[in-house]
């Protein structure tokens, strides 16, 4: 199974000119064992094309057309060449108040439209064992009713919110923290989809993935790639992370 290194550019860079320059540098990289995904802001999507890179979006709406001012639908994204959508990032869950229920609808409508979904899950804090309950509820509610036949297009990104580079009081997640979470996530997927699908679903890690630590994260058993924020805005850093994925 191929690894996935996905770039979440968030609301960056500031102009389409800068976006094109960054994209051009990154899309020169050829990878054999890794799918490279770049998720730029919506408006830049039509300007960024490459054989080596798949385009993702950072969000999506739940309907395909209609009176929904400001929204962008799965079918619109497909029509401009988008292959992946990131759904449920903490900056949307916490920053935009998106509930598990809304995320669930976004996941289902995207999968039904033929997009691959990177569904982001992760606890806000890890102070006590309570967070396992939180994580289970988040996963179960976000994936409720997703048909098994779509599960091959579902990728989970485990992003402990406390480990994201821009979090206040950021702490680094240890390989042990991540390993335990992947086992827990897979067990939850097993409850939802059964064993075969649970074993086949790729789980990415996200949260301060940088060139110097990428290999340590990518070597964790059960991890099939990374969702990269800050380091994806620097072409050299991002290339190094892809290189690390190719070596693992």
Between CA 157 and CA 165 the distance in angstroms is 16
- Other C-beta atoms lying within 10 Å of the C-beta of residue 199: 12
Residue tagged active-site, from 91, 98, 123, 159: 159
The residue (of 40 and 229) whose beta carbon lies closer to ligand PGA is 229
Q: Does 159 participate in catalysis according to the annotation?
A: yes
The residue (of 175 and 197) whose beta carbon lies closer to ligand PGA is 175
- Please identify which residue in 37, 115, 164, 220 interacts with ligand PGA, judged by CB under 6 A: 164
> Do residues 84 and 74 touch, judged by C-beta distance below 8 A?
no
Q: Does 180 participate in catalysis according to the annotation?
A: no
Binding range to ligand PGA, per CB under 6 A, among 66-74, 191-199, 217-225, 228-236: 228-236
Does 227 participate in binding ligand PGA (rule CB under 6 A)?
Answer: yes
State in angstroms the smallest separation of the CB of 233 from ligand PGA: 9
Residue tagged active-site, from 71, 89, 236, 246: 89
Site size toward ligand PGA (CB under 6 A) is 14
Does 173 participate in binding ligand PGA (rule CB under 6 A)?
Answer: no
Does 209 participate in binding ligand PGA (rule CB under 6 A)?
Answer: yes
- Please identify which residue in 56, 74, 122, 229 interacts with ligand PGA, judged by CB under 6 A: 229
Does 165 participate in binding ligand PGA (rule CB under 6 A)?
Answer: yes
State in angstroms the smallest separation of the CB of 90 from ligand PGA: 7
Does 55 participate in binding ligand PGA (rule CB under 6 A)?
Answer: no
Looking only at residues 187 through 206 of this chain, which bind ligand PGA when binding is defined by CB under 6 A? 206
Does 207 participate in binding ligand PGA (rule CB under 6 A)?
Answer: yes
Binding range to ligand PGA, per CB under 6 A, among 23-31, 103-111, 163-171, 181-189: 163-171
Q: What is the DSSP string of the chain?
A: --EEEEEE--S--SSHHHHHHHHHHHTT---SSEEEEEE--GGGGGG---SSEEEEES---SSSSSS-TT---HHHHHHTT--EEEE--HHHHTTS---HHHHHHHHHHHHHTT-EEEEEE--S--SSTHHHHHHHHHHHHHHTT--GGGGGGEEEEE--GGGSTTSTT--PPPHHHHHHHHHHHHHHHHHHH-HHHHHH-EEEEESS--TTTHHHHHTSTT--EEEESGGGGSHHHHHHHHHHHHH-
Which parts of this chain interact with ligand PGA (CB under 6 A)? 8, 159, 164-166, 206-209, 227-231
Task: Give the residue numbers marked as catalytic.
Answer: 89, 159
């Amino acid at each position: 199974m191929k690894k996935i290194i996905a770039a979440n550019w968030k609301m960056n860079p500031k102009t389409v000119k800068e976006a094109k320059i960054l994209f051009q540098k990154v899309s020169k990289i050829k990878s054999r064992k890794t799918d490279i995904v770049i998720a730029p802001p919506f408006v830049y999507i039509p300007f960024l094309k490459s054989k080596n890179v798949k385009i993702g979006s950072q969000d999506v709406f739940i309907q395909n057309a209609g009176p929904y001012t400001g929204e962008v639908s799965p079918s619109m994204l497909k029509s401009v060449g988008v292959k992946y959508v990131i759904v449920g990032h903490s900056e949307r869950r916490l920053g935009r108040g998106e509930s598990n229920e809304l995320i669930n609808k976004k996941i289902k409508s995207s999968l039904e439209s033929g997009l691959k979904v990177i569904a982001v899950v992760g606890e806000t804090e890890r102070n006590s064992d309570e967070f396992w309950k939180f994580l289970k509820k988040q996963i179960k509610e976000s994936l409720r009713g997703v048909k098994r036949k779509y599960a091959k297009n579902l990728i989970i990104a485990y992003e402990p919110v406390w480990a994201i580079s821009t979090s206040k009081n950021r702490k680094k997640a240890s390989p042990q923290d991540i390993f335990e979470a992947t086992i827990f996530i897979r067990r939850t997927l097993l409850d939802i989809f059964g064993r075969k699908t649970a074993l086949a679903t790729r789980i990415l890690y996200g949260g301060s993935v940088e060139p110097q630590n990428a290999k340590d994260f990518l070597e964790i058993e059960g991890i099939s790639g990374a969702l990269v924020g800050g380091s994806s805005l620097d072409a050299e850093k991002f290339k190094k992370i892809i290189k690390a994925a190719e070596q693992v």
